[in-house]
Structures are given as structure tokens and as C-alpha cells.
């Protein structure tokens, strides 16, 4: 005979609820991507109703950043860059910045490669996204988690 | 009212036809984000470069949009295919009437 | 006899400490070494180094004839600025009885030889000119020596370096000698050798002088910072440059 005490029943209900919550969070795709709603919105504006695939994009940022005011960012997309198949745009989104959009590059079949280097500002330790739009209309992404430190002695104006 | 500033272009001046060349473009600009406050607690207004374009022989081959998250003295390194001898034009435009132009010659054999 | 033994022991211990202290200073390191590889690359690449624009502005100012005498720096010192090679390695130095920093000397030339108003400290023009002049000495060893002329200023500078100051009651030495290489917050404490000034400090998002950096340090310990262009500043700068003698100049450096 199974003895289900009142406490056990309450615990089971609680556990089931938590489990359902966890599963639903995992199932809802975009919410698992970006933490902040502004970043989510910015990504949504770029991608629209298309699927955001993972892969093809290589985003390089230093894992430990001494000062977030000037960080070298390298992004590249594995793509032949021909008239029939090229990278149309690369967008950089910084989740933890006051404005998530950081930089957008628009390429053409004359670009040769889809490798871009620039220097960005990162307000705090955060996830940075690179979203590439190909000429066939597909969207691909990659992200890097950064740790940003700041100077110990900051100045008084 | 138009403002401008220095810009530096680094790219090869000679290339073989079809060769992919790397171009480095950097502009002198504070890129004031609009999120900083002055000593009196007043917000310093946003003043940034908004757009950068590269045209090769009159055809636009690269464009970039800058937002406040781009670092001061913005730099972009990108590539293009050396198709013909000629002039590459670089243009930066931004807030408060900012406009900077630069160009480079390339000989393609 | 016992007292003599004690005194001899004390002398022995003190001299050992002093000897090892000297040995420690010979293991000197520029702040360049404690930076990340990415920031080192930023400093090394002359085109990507954000200070490049200040150098260009400095070169323009160097050749700019202005003022009632219509003179430029180039009028006396030559077009290219190469006559300035080695100059920055000797500053601060005592000239006509006054301890002069490089910025002070540039302003002095402006006022006396060009008849122009002096540049404000930390102004774009003064930074650009200082960077341009100091850049001519890049790679050369810092050459500030103890002389009969500067020894009292040097002693004062030494005292400033070892004196506790501010609400936090810390001296420069407590962080930059005793704890150099350890961490403060997320940053590695450098030995504080001014080998690359004016520097592009990423924190400032701009070029800045040694005096600005020293004022930051003093605010950091909640002390009243020395004024720009003050004698105390020059004395501390003199001591720091003397302490860094022999190390190569890196101007313009990049620091986080």
C-alpha cells in the first residue's frame, strides 16, 4: 500500500509545477536566447519571422576584457561570396549595453570575404551576438559570453 | 554646419585582378554615446558617426551602420575584390552635420 | 658588547633589505607587460593605435606658424621634428633654476618664443604636441639622472612617493612597490613606470597625460590631487622618471 502523506502531495505538486515551468522555458526558443527584452526585440527586428539558425558565423571576442570601452571584435561567416550565394549583412547585438544594436555591416558579392573587424564598447560582462543574413534569406547566429572588468581607480572630473 | 575630422585608410596600392584585398578604415571621432553625464548632472547629447560607405569605381561595395556601441575613433577592417585600377572612395556621415571623405588609388594588373 | 652585536645585526639586516630592494627594482616591468595580448597589439600597431590622430594633430601644430612673431616650432626646431629625438627622455629637468616637465617646456616655448598664449593642461593641442615630441624618442631609454641641480626636487619626489595620503591613507609605494603584480579589483597593479606618456587610456577613451593619471590615483585614495603644472606634480614626475631610468620610452602607449 502506498502511503501518500499530505506533505508528499504538496511537494509533488510543487515539483511538477517547477518541472513544467522549466520545460516550457526550454521549449520557447527565442526567450532562451537573449536575457534582456530590448536585445530580444532588436534580434526580432532583424530576423522577423524567419528561423534563426545556429552556425556558419564565427564571432571572436577576448573572453576576459580589461576595459570594455574599446574591445576588438572579429566576425566571419563561412561563405563562398559569389553572386548566387553571399552574405548580405552581419549585425552585432550586445545584450548588456544600453542600446543592444552595436554595428551592422552590409556586404556584396564583390566583398570577397565576409570577415569584418571593428572595435566596440561593452558596458558590462554580457553575451554578444553576431547575426548573419545570407542572400538566400536565411539567418545564422553565433554568440560569445564575455567578462568585462573595469579599472580599479576611476577618476573624478 | 558641417564638421569633419581626420581619417586614415590602409590598403595595398597594387593588386592582381581577382585578388581579395583588406582595407582598414579609421576615423577620428569621440563617438559620444549620449549615455554620459557632465559635471552638472546634465546628459551629454549623442554625437556619433552613423554611416560608413566604400565605393569602388563609383559602385558601392561596402556599407556599415554605426551605433553608440561602436568604440571611439571607429575602425572597420573589411575586404573587397580588386576588379580594376581606379579610385576607392570612403565616406563617413554622422550627427551634427559630420561628413568625412577619403580616397585611395589602386593599380590592378 | 651585546649592544654592539645588536647594532651590527641591525645594520646587516637593513643593508640586506636595501640590497634586495635594489635587486627588486632591477626586475622592472612596464605596464605593457601586465596588459592583455589584445591591448598590447593595439599599442604595437601604429595604424590601429588610437593615439595616431593625436600624433597627426601634433605634427600639424608643430608646423603651424602663428602669433605676432609668425613662428612655429618648426621655425627653430626643423620641419620633421627629428631634432626632438631624445628630448623627451630627459624630462622633467631643471632649467634656469626651475623644474620643468615636457608640457611645461612646450608651453614656455609657446609663450616666450612664439608670443602665444599657453595651452591649457589636458587640452587636445597640448596633448597632441607632447605626444608628437615624445614619440620622436620612442624606443630610447629614459635618461633622467640624479644631478646636483635636481637632487632636492628628486628627494621631494621620493618623499611624495612614499608618503601616505588621503582618506584611505595609502602611499604610492604601498600599491606600486609592495603590491605590484597583485590585483586591485579586476586589474593587475602595475609598477607605475611612466614609460608611455601621454597614453591612450581606454578608460578615458582619449589621450591623457601623466599628471591626469596621477590625479586619478590621488582621487582613488581620496586625497586632494596635486594641481596641474604644480611643483609637487613635477617633483613626483621627476622621481617616477628617475625610477624608470633605462627603460625604453613607449609613447604613445595604450593602457586599459
Q: Does B35 touch chain A (CB under 8 A)?
A: yes
Q: State which residues of chain B have pLDDT below 70.
A: 1
pLDDT at C62: 95
- Taking only the tens place, the pLDDT of each residue in C158-179 is 999 999 999 999 999 999 999 9
For chain A, give the mean pLDDT: 86
Q: What is the pLDDT of residues C74-95, one digit of tens each?
A: 999 999 889 999 999 999 999 9
Asked if C102 and C74 touch (Cβ cutoff 8 Å), the reply is no
Do residue C52 and residue B8 have CB atoms under 8 angstroms apart?
Answer: yes
At residue A36, the pLDDT reads 82
Q: Cα–Cα distances in Å, from C206 out to B28, C22, C123, C211?
A: 11, 35, 11, 14
pLDDT classification of A25: cutoffs 50, 70, 90:
low
Q: Is A118 exposed, middle or buried (0-12, 13-18, 19+ CB in 10 A)?
A: buried
Q: Is the separation of the CB atoms in A128 and A73 below 8 Å?
A: yes
CB C171 within 8 A of CB C162: yes
Mean pLDDT, chain C, rounded, equals: 90
Question: What is the arithmetic mean of pLDDT over C232-252?
Answer: 96
Q: What is the SS3 assignment for A114? A: coil
For residue C244, what are the contacts with CB-CB under 8 A and spacing of at least 6? Answer: C28, C142, C144, C193, C194, C195
- Domains C29-46+141-255 and C52-135 fall in the same CATH topology: yes
pLDDT of C201 above 90 = yes
- Does the pLDDT of residue A26 top 80, yes or no? no
Query: In chain B, what is the straight-line distance between the N-terminal and C-terminal CA atoms, in Å?
Result: 42
* C11: confidence class by pLDDT, cuts 50, 70, 90: low
* pLDDT band at residue A33 using 50, 70 and 90 as cut-offs: low
- Cβ-in-10-Å burial (0-12, 13-18, 19+) of A100 comes to buried
Question: What is the rounded distance in angstroms from the CA atom of residue A31 to the CA atom of residue A43?
Answer: 11
Residue B108 DSSP symbol:
E
Q: What separation, in Å, do the N-terminal and C-terminal C-alpha atoms of chain C show? A: 57
Domain ranges of chain C: 29-46+141-255, 52-135
DSSP string, chain C: -HHHHHHHHHHHHHHHHHHHHHHHHHS---GGGGS-HHHHHHHH-TTTSTTHHHHHHHHHHHH--BTTTTB-HHHHH-SSSGGGTTGGGG-SEEETTEEE-HHHHHHHHHHHTS--PPPPTT-HHHHHHHHHHHHTTTTSBP-----TTTHHHHHHHHHHHHS-BTTTTB-HHHHHTSSTTSEETTEEPP-----S-SEEETTTTEEE-HHHHHHHHHHHTT--PPPTT-HHHHHHHHHHHHHTTTSBP-PSPEE-
> Do C88 and C136 form a contact (C-beta atoms < 8 A)?
yes
The nearest CA of chain B is from the CA of C57 a distance in Å of 9
Tally of domains within chain B: 1
User: Which H or E element spans position A21?
Assistant: helix A6-27
Domain ranges of chain A: 1-32, 35-148
Q: What is the pLDDT of residue B1?
A: 47
Q: What's the pLDDT at C24? A: 45
Is pLDDT of A145 > 60? Answer: yes
Report the CATH superfamily, name and number, of domain A35-148.
SoxY domain (2.60.40.2470)
Q: List the Cα angle A42/A45/A49 in 5-degree steps.
A: 130
Q: Which residues of C161-197 are buried (b: 16+ CB within 10 A; e: fewer)?
A: beeebbeeebbbbebbbeebeeeeebbbbbbbbbbbb
> In 10 A of CB C99, how many CB atoms?
23
Output the domain CATH number for residue B70: 2.60.40.10
For residue B50, give its domain range. Answer: 7-36+43-108
C-alpha cell at C105: 617646456
Contacts of C206 in chain B (CB under 8 A): 30, 72
pLDDT attached to residue A2: 58
Q: Cα separation of C220 and C232, whole Å?
A: 18
What pLDDT sits at residue C2?
80
Nearest CA in chain B to A100: B69
* Closest chain C C-alpha to B91 CA, distance in angstroms: 18
For residue C93, with 0-12 CB atoms within 10 Å meaning exposed, 13-18 middle and 19 or more buried, which class applies?
A: buried
> Partners of B78 in the beta sheet?
B23
pLDDT at C184 over 70: yes
Whether the CB of B20 is below 8 Å from some CB of chain A: the reply is: yes
User: B2 lies in a domain?
Assistant: no
What is the rounded CA–CA span in Å between residue A37 and residue B88? 41
Does residue B1 belong to any structural domain of this protein?
no
Q: How far apart are the C-alpha atoms of C67 and C73, rounded to whole Å?
A: 12
Task: Tell whether the model's pLDDT for residue C140 goes beyond 90.
Answer: yes
Say which CATH topology domain C52-135 has: Cytochrome Bc1 Complex; Chain D, domain 2 (1.10.760)
Q: Give the pLDDT confidence of A84-143 residue by residue, as tens digits.
A: 999 999 999 999 999 999 999 999 999 999 999 999 999 999 999 999 999 999 999 999
**Which residues of C fall below an 8 Å CB-CB distance to A?**
35-39, 41-42, 50, 184-187, 189, 202-205, 212, 215-217, 219-220, 225, 256
Determine the Cα–Cα distance for residues A102 and C163; give it in Å rounded to an integer: 45
Distance of CA C65 to the CA centre of its chain: 29
Identify which of C118, C82, C81, C84 has the alpha carbon closest to the alpha carbon of residue C103. Answer: C118
Q: What is the mean pLDDT of residues C59-71?
A: 92
When CB atoms are compared, the residue of B21, B67, B71 closest to A70 is B71
Q: Which residues in chain C are contacts of A67 at CB distance < 8 A?
A: 39, 202-203, 256
* Chain B residue with the nearest C-alpha to that of A104: B65
Residue A84: CB atoms within 10 A of its CB come to 8
CATH 3.40.50.261 fits C29-46+141-255, yes or no: no
Does C17 have pLDDT greater than 80? Answer: no
Q: What is the pLDDT of residues A2-11, one digit of tens each?
A: 566 777 777 8
Check whether C153 has a pLDDT greater than 90: yes
Joined together, the cell numbers standing for residue C244 give 624608470
**Residue C109 CB-density burial (10 A; 0-12 exposed, 13-18 middle, 19+ buried):** middle
Q: Which residue has the higher pLDDT, C201 or A7?
A: C201
Amino acid at each position: 500500500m502506498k502511503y501518500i502523506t499530505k506533505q508528499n502531495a504538496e511537494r509533488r505538486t510543487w515539483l511538477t509545477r517547477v518541472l513544467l515551468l522549466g520545460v516550457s522555458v526550454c521549449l520557447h526558443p527565442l526567450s532562451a536566447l537573449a536575457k534582456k527584452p530590448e536585445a530580444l526585440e532588436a534580434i526580432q527586428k532583424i530576423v522577423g519571422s524567419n528561423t534563426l539558425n545556429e552556425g556558419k558565423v564565427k564571432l571572436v571576442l577576448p573572453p576576459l576584457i580589461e576595459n570594455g570601452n574599446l574591445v576588438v571584435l572579429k566576425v566571419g561567416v563561412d561563405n563562398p561570396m559569389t553572386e548566387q550565394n553571399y552574405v548580405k549583412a552581419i549585425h552585432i547585438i550586445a545584450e548588456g549595453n544600453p542600446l543592444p544594436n552595436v554595428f551592422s555591416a552590409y556586404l556584396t558579392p564583390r566583398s570577397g570575404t565576409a570577415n569584418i573587424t571593428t572595435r566596440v564598447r561593452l558596458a558590462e560582462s554580457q553575451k554578444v551576438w553576431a547575426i548573419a543574413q545570407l542572400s538566400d534569406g536565411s539567418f545564422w547566429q553565433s554568440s560569445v559570453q564575455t567578462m568585462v572588468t573595469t579599472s580599479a581607480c576611476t577618476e573624478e572630473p | 554646419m558641417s564638421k569633419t575630422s581626420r581619417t586614415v585608410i590602409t590598403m595595398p596600392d597594387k593588386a592582381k585582378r581577382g585578388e581579395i584585398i583588406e582595407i582598414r578604415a579609421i576615423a577620428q571621432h569621440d563617438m559620444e554615446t549620449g549615455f554620459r553625464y557632465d559635471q552638472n548632472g546634465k546628459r551629454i547629447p549623442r554625437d556619433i558617426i552613423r554611416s560608413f560607405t566604400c565605393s569602388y569605381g563609383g559602385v558601392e561595395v561596402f556599407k556599415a551602420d554605426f551605433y553608440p556601441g561602436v568604440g571611439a575613433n571607429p575602425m572597420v577592417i573589411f575586404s573587397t575584390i580588386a576588379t580594376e585600377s581606379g579610385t576607392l572612395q570612403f565616406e563617413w556621415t554622422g550627427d551634427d552635420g559630420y561628413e568625412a571623405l577619403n580616397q585611395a588609388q589602386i593599380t590592378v594588373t | 658588547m651585546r649592544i654592539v652585536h645588536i647594532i651590527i645585526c641591525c645594520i646587516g639586516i637593513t643593508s640586506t633589505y636595501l640590497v634586495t630592494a635594489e635587486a627588486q627594482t632591477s626586475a622592472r616591468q612596464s605596464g605593457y607587460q601586465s596588459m592583455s595580448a589584445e591591448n598590447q597589439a593595439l599599442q604595437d600597431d601604429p595604424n590601429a593605435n588610437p593615439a595616431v590622430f593625436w600624433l597627426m594633430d601634433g605634427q600639424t601644430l608643430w608646423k603651424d606658424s602663428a602669433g605676432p612673431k609668425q613662428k612655429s616650432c618648426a621655425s627653430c626646431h626643423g620641419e620633421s621634428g627629428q631634432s626632438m629625438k631624445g628630448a623627451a627622455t630627459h624630462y622633467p629637468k631643471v632649467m634656469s633654476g626651475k623644474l620643468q616637465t615636457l608640457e611645461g617646456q612646450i608651453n614656455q616655448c609657446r609663450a616666450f618664443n612664439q608670443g602665444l598664449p599657453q595651452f591649457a593642461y589636458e587640452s587636445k593641442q597640448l596633448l597632441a604636441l607632447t605626444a608628437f615630441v615624445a614619440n620622436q624618442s620612442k624606443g630610447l631609454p629614459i635618461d633622467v639622472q640624479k644631478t646636483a641641480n635636481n637632487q632636492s626636487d628628486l628627494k621631494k619626489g621620493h618623499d611624495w612617493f612614499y608618503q601616505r595620503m588621503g582618506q584611505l591613507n595609502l602611499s604610492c609605494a604601498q600599491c606600486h612597490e609592495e603590491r605590484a603584480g597583485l590585483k586591485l579589483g579586476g586589474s593587475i597593479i602595475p609598477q607605475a613606470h611612466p614609460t608611455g606618456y601621454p597614453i591612450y587610456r581606454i578608460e578615458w577613451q582619449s589621450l591623457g597625460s601623466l599628471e591626469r593619471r596621477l590625479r586619478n590615483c590621488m582621487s582613488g585614495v581620496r586625497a586632494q590631487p596635486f594641481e596641474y603644472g604644480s611643483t609637487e606634480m613635477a617633483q613626483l614626475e621627476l622621481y617616477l622618471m628617475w625610477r624608470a631610468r633605462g627603460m625604453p620610452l613607449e609613447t604613445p602607449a595604450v593602457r586599459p
